[in-house]
Structure 1
Amino acid sequence: MTAENFPSFRMATTADVAAIVALVESAYRGESGLRGWTTESHLLDGRRTDAADVGELIGRPDSRILLAENDGRLKASCHVESQGEAGYFGMFAVDPSEQGSGLGKRMLAEAERMAREEWHCRAMRMTVIVQREELIAWYVRRGYRRIGEYQPFPYGDERFGIPRRDDLRFEVLLKDFTGATA
């Protein structure tokens, strides 16, 4: 891999909101999402996020949206938040044309490093829709554990999408940083 293939990481500002929303929507919904393997189009219709949600995450204390850029172009983003001893990882999006390139692994590792080094978190938590077995397996290969904890899907709240089925719920995954290498 050459140096130009390595992304640069930075924290999002309010000037990045529109680009983040476009990236997240392209990775999770609609026709462009079908190019990548992270799409939720078979589970949910509607939007994945909007400018107000992203702006709120950027402005919240102990919350960051981490961006990965290559040649000045947004290629990946994620939300990372300090929640006591654990960080929370979510709203992870990789440009569908970059999926499978290793960028997602590097982005996740950078988010974990930030949670460990900046907030001194002992673990990272996330929630994944249980029907996303391939995605859960990807996280398990990166040291996350299925801990048997579930959260209900917020049916009726279109901010999370419009469900195409009635059995959705979230599974909590956890990665313990003590003794772990990222």
Structure 2
Amino acid sequence: MDTALRPAPGELTFRDATAADIDALVTLVESAYRGDSSRAGWTTEADILEGQRTDPQEVAAVIEKAGSRLLAVERDGELVACCQLEHRGDHAYFGMFAVSPALQGAGLGKVIIAEAERIARETWDATEMRMTVINAREDLIAWYERRGYRRTGESTPFPYGNERFGIPQRDGLRFELLVKELDRG
């Protein structure tokens, strides 16, 4: 590769994930949200949910689905973050967002979500971004609110009994819908 095309050291690169990335992506998402390794960062759900956050089949489905992209984010050739974007008519859905626990709190999340919003606008002409967040994650919801997302008051029940989503450690969990209007910019 021509050195002029290489990113500067520490610079983030974004690319569409491929089947070759599945195992690394599952490991990244799990490390950011579940188990003791997730406690190194602030996005842990370890006290709310045990069990898996995702699996190879779910990651493969996101990669392969029409109108969906799973962005792999690298720094110096190392996978450090990812996020899902899915085209849903006039809006895009943002999900499976994970940043390596060792790098959380350093501003990467802000850069990644801004790039995801840009891609949704430019690729699909999306007018808004939507996501769902577990209602017990007030700190995470507040982080998204600081990025311009608003609570809609809409929510869906957590699928208790379906271990594919994890094993709840408390009652009353719901997925809350957050929305942000995307500037034409």
TM-score relative to the length of structure 1: 0.95
Counterpart of 1:104 in structure 2 is 109
Q: Deviations over 1:122-166 (max 9, x none)?
A: 000000011100100000000101111111101111110000011
Residue 67 of structure 1 is matched in structure 2 by: 72
**Is residue 133 of structure 2 the alignment partner of residue 121 of structure 1?**
no
Number of residue pairs matched by the alignment: 179
Partner of 1:19: 24
The answer as to whether partners of 2:40 and 2:102 remain within 8 angstroms in 1 is: yes
Cα distance, 1:113 vs structure 2:
0.8
1:134 is aligned to 139
Does the Cα contact within 8 Å between 2:29 and 2:54 map onto a contact in 1?
A: yes
Give percent identity, aligned residues only.
Answer: 58
**Is residue 63 of structure 2 the alignment partner of residue 30 of structure 1?**
no
User: TM-score, with normalisation over the residues of structure 2?
Assistant: 0.94
Q: Which residue does the alignment assign to 2:4?
A: none
CA root-mean-square deviation: 1.2
Alignment of 1:137-176 (within 5 A): 137-176=142-181
**Contact 2:11-2:76 within 8 A present in 1 as well:** no
Measure the CA separation in 2 of the matches of 1:10 and 1:103: 16
In structure 1, what residue type is equivalent to 2:12?
P
Q: SS in structure 2 opposite 1:110?
A: helix
Cα offsets for 1:63-116 (capped at 9, x unmatched):
010111011100000111001111000111000011011111111111111110
Matched residue SS, 1:5: coil
Report what 2:59 is aligned to. Answer: 54
Residue 166 of structure 1 aligns to a residue whose secondary structure is coil
Task: Determine the C-alpha separation between the residues in 2 that align with 1:47 and 1:66.
Answer: 21
Runs of 4+ in structure 1 off by over 4 angstroms are none
Cα drift, residue 5 of structure 1: 2.2
State yes or no: 1:80 paired with 2:88: no
Name 1:40's counterpart in structure 2. Answer: 45
Counterpart of 2:39, as a letter, is L
Structure 2 gap ranges (5+): 1-7
